[in-house]
Amino acid sequence: MSQAENYCCNSCESLSQKQSQKRVFKYWKPVTSLLLLLSGLAMEYFWATPWFSGYLQLSWYTIAYLPVGIPVLRQAYAHLIKGDVFTEFFLMGIATIGAFLIGEYPEAVAVMLFYSIGEAFQHSAADRARGHIKALLDVRPETAHVKRDGEITSTHPSGVRVGETIQVKPGERVPLDGKLISDTAAFDTSAITGESKPRSFQPGEKVLAGMVNLNQVTEFEVTATYDKSSITRILELVQNATLRKAKTELFIRSFARVYTPVVVGLAALLVILPALFVSPYHFQEWFYRGLVFLVISCPCALVISIPLGYFGGIGAASRNGILVKGSNYLDALKNVDTVVFDKTGTLTHGTFTVQNITSENGNQDEWLRSVHAMEKNSTHPIAKAIVQHLDDLNGNEPAVTDQTELPGFGIVATVNDKRVAVGNENLMEREAVAQTAKVPAKSGSVVHIAIDGAYQGHIHISDAVKADSSEAIKQLKQLGIERTIMLSGDKQHVAGELGSKLGIDETYAELLPEEKAAKLEKLKNQLQGTVAYVGDGINDAPVLALSDVGIAMGAMGSDVAIETADVVIQTDQPSKIATAIRIGKATRSIVWQNIVLALGVKGAVLTLGAVGLATMWGAVFADVGVALLAILNAVRVQHMKFE
């Protein structure tokens, strides 16, 4: 083992020991109270020790009560001075102090002890849910190797400017978003996308901060500063997610504020009213029933477990490469009835590739070299696809003069004293080219080539469909999504062919960006239920904002789309939409299970307590026991598989 590895192991072991010590110290209060309570019960009931009575017994249980009781009483006081009287801390304080007054010491300690244990479970579960989010912090490197003045300088990523070149060694994380300069390289993208399979990147492709370089020293041109890098934006989105509450969560908090003073009033009436109707009236008996009523009615199970359920759902989504910007959007995902897709960059890769080349006349290699020489001067995406495909052509490239790019038509130029036209059918008509063969309608674009008015052939280019687009539509229909719709700016026959191939219910094509927004608004007015829109480009931002749930394809999507959307898919996989809906459904189901469990058990035990059939121990189960069960149920969503 190397010195560095040995140091690392020792550091990790030391850190682990410190964390263990911290956990032990964290739980010393409930552990102390539990030991004192158990020993007190043993002396009182098991051994029946005669001297364990009077002030000694009171002192013993008081000492057992203080470690777990003081934090709760302190919280109750803090709320009281703010005018917030009826809280769970207030209920616990009244009930346990009252129990001491009537001599029910073990019950008083038990109420606070189990409440403390419930709180520990809650914090532990919340910490586990935050683990997936906090893990993102660990993928932000603290050092960037920048190439300046011909030398490599190490600095913090925040000190690197856009346009500078950084170097990343094998095994290191990419510190900033950048464009790959080096040859093809492989990266572990799991920290960003949740995908364990390594991905290869070509020169010029965008690589995101947090990815791990797997094979060779690579160089990047920085495209975004540290504070605007993808990983920083992801952190901000997830950390702010808990600020957006679901309607269920907001209702429970409002409900608790009304419910708590009502049950305090009922508990008071339970103590006072029997004096008017019951004979003989024993104050201590009815006071005990009132205390039991208070403990049972504490809304801890609801107030704790429901936000935890939503937080767990957000954490589960994050683990699956999906960023949900708030628990309200988890609820909205559960209710989605219609999913509307953008085409390019969402269901397709958004990058053109040459599908085939057809020669109708002349020497194919000769006219392809002319096409390559002309297209390499163009910035059009189709031109780039052709150039990339023809880069390996053999032979000398001809000289190009008088090149003119005609928007909406193509390119014309003089190549070796011949007039060459490269473009669409309209350009062929403009150049008076007599085509020898009519090209059938194809999905994608067809680039025609003519030399001195004679048709040479055509190149078929199309945008490749993503591997799991068809599976995504299938999964959505299995989930009960009523309609799938595609909106596209492409030609009708192209969009229609893709929609039919993928099994999409309705396709609307040849739409401008503003027409997409108008079309979605019209669809929302016509359709029942919740409408989700999935897009990735700048032109999708208005439509994402108009939809009930906006879903952005985040890996290759525009910053504007990601900022506007309510849910961000960090991979290029449309099938993640179905995963997000499953998480939304599972989270909502768990939340309602907890509501029914808490209200059902509390209602039953409250009735028993009012008629004197439930003790303080039963009250402890109805409150803290149910809270523990609800917390454990809420934690389940973090361990479910959704794919």
Kindly write down the DSSP assignment for every residue of 83-104, as one continuous string.
T---SHHHHHHHHHHHHHHTT-
Which helix (H) or strand (E) segment holds residue 152: the answer is strand 151-155
Report the alpha-carbon distance of residue 373 to residue 390 in Å, rounded. 10
Neighbour-count burial of 356, counting CB atoms closer than 10 A to its CB (0-12 exposed, 13-18 middle, 19+ buried): exposed
Give one DSSP letter per residue of 393-457, joined into a string.
--SPPPPEEEEEEETTTEEEEEETTEEEEEE-HHHHHHTT-B-SSPPPP-SSEEEEEEETTEEEE
Q: Which residues contact 426 (CB under 8 A, 6 or more apart)?
A: 408, 409
Which amino acid, one-letter code, is at 606?
Answer: L
Does residue 572 carry a catalytic annotation? no
| Catalytic-role residue among 177, 188, 342, 540 | 342
Q: Beginning with the edge strand found earlier in the chain, give each strand of the sheet holding 454-465 in spatial order.
A: 348-359, 454-465, 445-451, 418-423, 410-415, 400-406
* CA diameter of the chain: 120
How far, in Å, CA of 606 to CA of 562, rounded?
49
Q: What single string gives the DSSP state of each residue in 602-630?
A: HHHHHHHHHTT---HHHHHIIIIIHHHHH
Q: Distance (Å, rounded) from C-alpha 40 to C-alpha 165?
A: 70
Least Cα distance to 568 among 600, 544, 595 occurs for 544
* Residues whose CB is less than 8 angstroms from the CB of residue 579 and which lie 6 or more positions away in sequence, other chains included: 320, 322, 642, 643
Q: Which residues contact 109 (CB under 8 A, 6 or more apart)?
A: 33, 36, 37, 40, 61, 64, 65, 68, 69, 96
Exposed/middle/buried for residue 514 (C-beta within 10 Å: 0-12, 13-18, 19+): exposed
Query: CB–CB of 628/574 below 8 Å?
Result: no
> 3-state class of 340 per DSSP?
strand
Q: Is 337 exposed, middle or buried (0-12, 13-18, 19+ CB in 10 A)?
A: middle
Q: What gap in Å lies between CA 309 and CA 387, rounded to an integer?
A: 52
3-state class (DSSP) for residue 167: strand
Residues 6+ apart with CB under 8 A from 69: 96, 109, 112
Q: Which DSSP state fits 322? A: E
- The region, left, alpha or beta by phi > 0 then psi within -120 to 50, assigned to residue 194 is left
Q: Which residues of 380-415 are buried (b: 16+ CB within 10 A; e: fewer)?
A: eebbbbbbbbbeeeeeeebebeeeebeeebbbbbeb
Instruction: Report yes or no: 407 and 422 within 8 Å, Cβ to Cβ.
Output: no
Active site residues: 342
